[in-house]
């Protein structure tokens, strides 16, 4: 099958995403590509991580609630309980995972388990004041965004 055969023949014809993925996969494999294709109609599953300062989290949740951020937020993770009430206000499950230098590996393992259990595709660090290990980052390549709003 030629990739061109997967494209709509006419402007009004629907695009068959699954047919295109099937046609594109051999070329991607030949070129050693790591790829993902989805539609704008499907909302990505996002986990929000936050420490004790809530202004970034509050802004993101407000934008999500008003429809500006088109995603699903199935979980908020924090190493402080300060965000728990905000998560509750928005009806989003909250996971408190303490992070200490001596137990960082165990904490990250728990965080990764929470992300896997919630089928997370994107991690947003909303003023999360911890350095993620290379092992953690490698589990979400090109799928971690670090947000630090500037206070004016």
User: How do residues 101-110 score in pLDDT, each as one tens digit?
Assistant: 899 999 999 9
Rounded Cα distance, 53 and 34, in Å: 36
Q: Which helix (H) or strand (E) holds 88?
A: helix 84-89
| DSSP category for residue 11 | T
Q: Residue 54: how many CA atoms within 13 Å on its side-chain side? A: 12
pLDDT band at 8 (very low <50, low <70, confident <90, very high): low
**Block residue for tokens 């996971």:** 95
Domain definitions of the chain by residue range = 45-147
pLDDT at 10: 59
Would you state the CATH architecture of domain 45-147? Answer: 3-Layer(aba) Sandwich (3.40)
């Amino acid at each position: 099958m030629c990739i061109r055969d997967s494209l709509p023949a006419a402007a009004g014809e629907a695009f068959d995403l699954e047919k295109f993925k099937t046609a594109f996969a051999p070329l991607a494999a030949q070129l050693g590509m790591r790829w993902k294709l989805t539609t704008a109609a499907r909302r990505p599953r996002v986990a929000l991580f936050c420490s004790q300062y809530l202004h970034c989290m509050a802004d993101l949740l407000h934008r999500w609630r008003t429809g500006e951020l088109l995603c699903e937020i199935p979980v908020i993770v924090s190493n402080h309980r300060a965000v728990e009430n905000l998560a509750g206000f928005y009806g989003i499950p909250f996971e408190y995972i303490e992070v200490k230098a001596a137990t960082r590996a165990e904490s990250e393992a728990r965080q990764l388990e929470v992300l896997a259990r919630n089928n997370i595709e994107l991690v947003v660090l909303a003023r999360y004041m911890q350095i993620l290990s290379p092992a953690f980052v490698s589990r979400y390549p090109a799928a971690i965004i670090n947000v630090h709003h500037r206070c004016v």
